[in-house]
Amino acid sequence: MDTVRQPAVAGMFYPAAAPQLEHELHALLAQAQAAASGLPVPKAIIAPHAGYIYSGPTAAMAYARLAPAREAITRVVLLGPVHRVPVRGLALPDATLLATPLGNVAVDAEAVARIRALPQVLVSAAAHAHEHSLEVHLPFLQTVLKKFSVVPFAVGGVSPEQVAEVLGLLWGGAETLIVVSSDLSHFLSYSDAQAVDRVTAQAILDLRTDISHEQACGGTPVNGLMLACRRRGLAPQLIDLRNSGDTAGDRARVVGYGAFAFYEGSNHYVH
């Protein structure tokens, strides 16, 4: 019997009513689509996880890149940091379905079976129950992809090597997309955040594996992705860099957001 992880932040981070949510997502993606036109589909993206009013425009810039692969991508490996319940490792939910106002997304049982025996992989219903870093990406994915399953990891204390090992086992081909959820700097002034986030963006473009949690709250999964991308020769691209002072917040105390794409093989496109 299926077990369902219910939405925790619908009505707070994004609209709880499906029609309103669909309208907001389509508007965000329409604004981003022109910049994505004609570009190759990335193997992996980094996108932020704040409320849509704050980080939605930046997230949409990454998700718009997936439009040509709407039917080709059928599995999404989704990694985000834990904010509420600490864990040591990469935590899977105990649910078989993840619910949003747009419907249910199946957890990929075959992929879970492939990595479940790794010592850094665990199951934690508590880590997922109220966590927003994964949930806010699901409606974007439900909008840009036709049909997909997800391998959702709430990431706590773990090394870049341990994250890269999981990614290596789930890497797959064109059917598999990797999404890392992370915001950038937190609660700095507008100008200080811009300076810090430019340094962090360059570290990501250099595929560094020492990005701190002060630079990016999702630093742990980001570092693991950077290691995997270095090993496989992926080319990084900065798509968008802004902060909450550019969208819906005041400029005295902002949160930074970045969208990044990573390309395989002959599809390298570096900005």
DSSP state letter for 75: E
103-161: per-residue pLDDT in tens? 999 999 999 999 999 999 999 999 999 999 999 999 999 999 999 999 999 999 999 99
Tell me how crowded residue 142 is: count the other CB atoms within 10 A of its CB: 20
Is it the case that residue 12 has pLDDT exceeding 80?
A: yes
193-245: per-residue pLDDT in tens? 999 999 999 999 999 999 999 999 999 999 999 999 999 999 999 999 999 99
Q: What is the distance of C-alpha 44 from the center of its chain?
A: 9
Banded pLDDT at 1 (limits 50, 70, 90): confident
**In the chain, what are the domain boundaries?**
16-134+147-159+194-267
Torsion of CA 114, 117, 120, 122, to 10 degrees: 90
CATH of 16-134+147-159+194-267, one of 3.40.830.10, 3.40.50.960, 3.30.540.10, 3.40.1080.10: 3.40.830.10
Give the 3-state secondary structure of residue 191.
helix
User: Would strands 149-155 and 176-181 be described as parallel, antiparallel, or unpaired?
Assistant: unpaired
Is it the case that residue 172 has pLDDT exceeding 90?
A: yes
**Residues counted in the chain:** 271
What's the rounded Cα separation, in Å, for the pair 223 and 220? 5
Residue whose token pair is 């290691």:
227
Give the 3-state secondary structure of residue 207.
coil
Note the pTM of the prediction, 2 decimals: 0.97
pLDDT confidence of residue 37: 78
pLDDT confidence of residue 216: 98
Which amino acid is residue 266, in one-letter code?
S
Q: CA separation (Å) from 184 to 47, 145, 161, 205?
A: 10, 26, 22, 14
60-83: per-residue pLDDT in tens? 999 999 999 999 999 999 999 999
Closest residue by Cα to residue 34 from 238, 178, 239: 239
